[in-house]
Amino acid sequence: MYLDLAAIPEYLPYFIPAAWMTLKITTFGILLGVILGLGTAFLRISEKKILNIPARGYIYIIRGTPLLLQLLFIYFGLRSLAGLDAITSAVLALGIHNGAYIAEIFRGAIVSISAGQMEAARSLGMPYARAMIRVILPQALKRAIPALGNQFIIALKDSSLASTITINELLLKSQQLASSNFMMMEMLFIAALFYLFYTALFNWLFHRLEAKLDVSSA
């Protein structure tokens, strides 16, 4: 296999808008996923079936079906009903998909906190909700940081599926350029460089965050 490395500096700038698009849909998707995941985690730990069962159903359906199917379902299904554009559909699909996994991350972190801490907070007169927010949740978030970092990296790579609904992210950009210059391997190589850069950058950022929060002592 021949790889023309000399062509890489020439075409690298063409990928910058696509790299920004990849980062944008990933970031907004994971933020939506955190909101959905935290809310679903609270429903999952509830003893009320009317709250617990829908949360279980959401997690089961999303984790049991592929992201590509969910993306296409939202794009083609909701576009005609709600007028969603491709970018909104991608963010929504990434958010809903990651929300199911983040819900289990948060649920595991919350239930890992000693029950005695909740009992101690309640004995001091704190309502359940305040005790959860002020005592349990900060510790749970600290413990969830490593898993959330991993989920962000997964979401970053999953964003490549947005190319199937014509979003001009890294993978689609490489295919578009390759169709005109017939340098498929070189274009894919450039896309891979951006993914590796993002992965290294966010791994470093999350490791710094873990060190700052002293996650190992959680």
How does pLDDT run across 112-144, given as a tens digit for each residue?
888 888 778 778 778 877 888 888 888 888 899
Q: pLDDT band at 37, cuts 50/70/90?
A: very high
Tell me the pLDDT tens digit for each residue of 58-116. 999 999 999 999 999 999 887 767 778 899 999 999 999 999 999 999 999 998 888 88
Residue-level pLDDT at 61: 96
Tell me the pLDDT tens digit for each residue of 2-23. 777 888 899 999 999 999 999 9
Residue-level pLDDT at 151: 95
Flag whether the pTM goes above 0.85: yes
Residue-level pLDDT at 124: 79
Residue-level pLDDT at 217: 61
Tell me the pLDDT tens digit for each residue of 143-156. 999 999 999 999 99
Is residue 194 over pLDDT 60? yes
Is residue 218 over pLDDT 70? no
Residue-level pLDDT at 38: 94
Better-scored residue on pLDDT, 130 or 190: 190
Distance (Å, whole) CA 91 – CA 159: 9
Task: Enumerate long-range contacts of 137-142, CB under 8 Å, 24 or more apart.
Answer: 137/110, 139/113, 139/218, 140/106, 140/109, 140/110, 140/112, 140/113, 141/109, 142/213, 142/215, 142/218
